[in-house]
Structure 1
């Protein structure tokens, strides 16, 4: 009898261990399953990330003139957003500050100058600047509210010209092409009024900055300046007596950045957008002959 009882007790104990072991195994499986589900529910699927091609990048562009500002606004509205580019326009009150802002890192690029102006600024500011795509040219014209032809310019007349170095050089070359003055050979340096060696009409030169030269037409016989200044002065109805040829792209304005940054993807993206055919049509339709696309 004792042997039978011991056998029965052993069977009962083994059953208990079996049930306990089975229960532990089931619990472990359930716990592992719950933990796995919890981790799956809180993790972010890798394929939910926004593709790089659809991400928006922001570029800061410095401008001085209303023309460049309007062109960039058109690009932002019509072209840039669909390309994942956000353009932040940083406007400056004069053209000296724009390259300084590039030097300090305040902006990524600027859009206001032609190659000769850029080269002169680079020397003065000790900067390595790069000209990318050129987009438009603003021809220099001779304007007047008092006469209608160059032959009417009286002896001793005062002529207003732009005071900055590159545009004064350009203006004097244009006046020489019209036989109003003759310049000495400066061996590649920029011309100034001091380089005039012949002045048959004894013209008196008044050097003015920016839009002030348009406003100053009331006080002079003629003025020689960029047609874009008429837009800023809201005098597009004023037509030139004679205008510079638009074939020379040396004076075409383009996108400029620091050397080493020209291959930045966002700069290159804008560099392509500024020569889009829609931009060409916008320039032609908006500015008439005061601004001419060159691409």
Structure 2
């Protein structure tokens, strides 16, 4: 009889304890672009919940707001960019965001609906590039590697079309927001597209790109936050979860080389 009376009390007490633990979970907001960043964050969300971190994923489709929101203190961290882009953003916007952990590389590629190889690229062909400084330069460096152009400084990671020293095929360049590049493929001869936007548009970087960066790319995507939050337990748990063997296996199995682990 005693146990029958105490059982409901224990059940209520356990439920209250669990509710209390959930209520005291540390909240962590992270801005991300949809693929693969938000997808990877969704995978680690239950892992972080077990460690007392409630992950709030904020999805963005541009490359400016995720950094600005973190710099302004509205969001704790972001996951969408590589170090050269971060350096460029910090310089341009006078911010001091910091990278806290590498996760993966998205090999940058060139796509076309009009040609099957660079040998078919005609004199005066129209080439679309991302309009942000770091990715625009990344595109030019990749074109240089293919022998299509030559830059004044072959290693300039912030080169623009004005830094082209040799352009034997008289290529014309159109600079557009990175997210729009897959949509304008029918209107240009060649477009240099970030892998996350290529995948969102149904392109397979391994199969569809005319040429693509190798695994030696220095453009690894990383988790970014502020100087004040970089050593917080929640941020450290996030990085640890994203650099786990499970995430590495998921990237390798799902993307088959289109995205490569960087840890």
Q: TM-score range by the shorter chain?
A: 0.7 to 0.9
Other-structure match for 1:201: 169
Aligned-pair CA distance for 1:187: 9.0
**What is the correspondence of 1:104-119 to structure 2 with a 5 Å cutoff?**
104-119=72-87
Hey, which bits of structure 1, 4+ residues long, moved more than 6 A?
48-52
2:208 to 239, 243, 246: 239
- Aligned residue pairs: how many? 245
Q: Are the aligned partners of 1:155 and 1:202 in contact in 2 as well (CA < 8 Å)?
A: yes
Superposed CA RMSD? 2.3
TM-score, normalised by the number of residues in structure 2: 0.86
TM-score, normalised by the number of residues in structure 1: 0.77
Other-structure match for 1:74: 43
**What is the correspondence of 1:34-183 to structure 2 with a 5 Å cutoff?**
56-77=25-46, 79-183=47-151
Other-structure match for 1:267: 235
Other-structure match for 2:252: 284
Q: Pick the structure with greater CA Rg.
A: 1
Unpaired runs of 5+ residues, structure 2, are: 1-15
Deviations 1:148-181, CA, capped at 9 Å, x for gaps? 1111111111111111111001110111111100
Q: Are the aligned partners of 2:129 and 2:178 in contact in 1 as well (CA < 8 Å)?
A: no
Deviations 1:96-132, CA, capped at 9 Å, x for gaps? 1111101111111111111011111111221112111
Unpaired runs of 5+ residues, structure 1, are: 1-47
**Equivalent residue of 2:243, what SS?**
coil
Higher helix share: 1
Deviations 1:254-278, CA, capped at 9 Å, x for gaps? 1111112111111111111110011
> Whole-Å Cα distance in 2 between the matches of residues 72 and 186 of structure 1?
36
Q: Are the aligned partners of 2:98 and 2:230 in contact in 1 as well (CA < 8 Å)?
A: yes
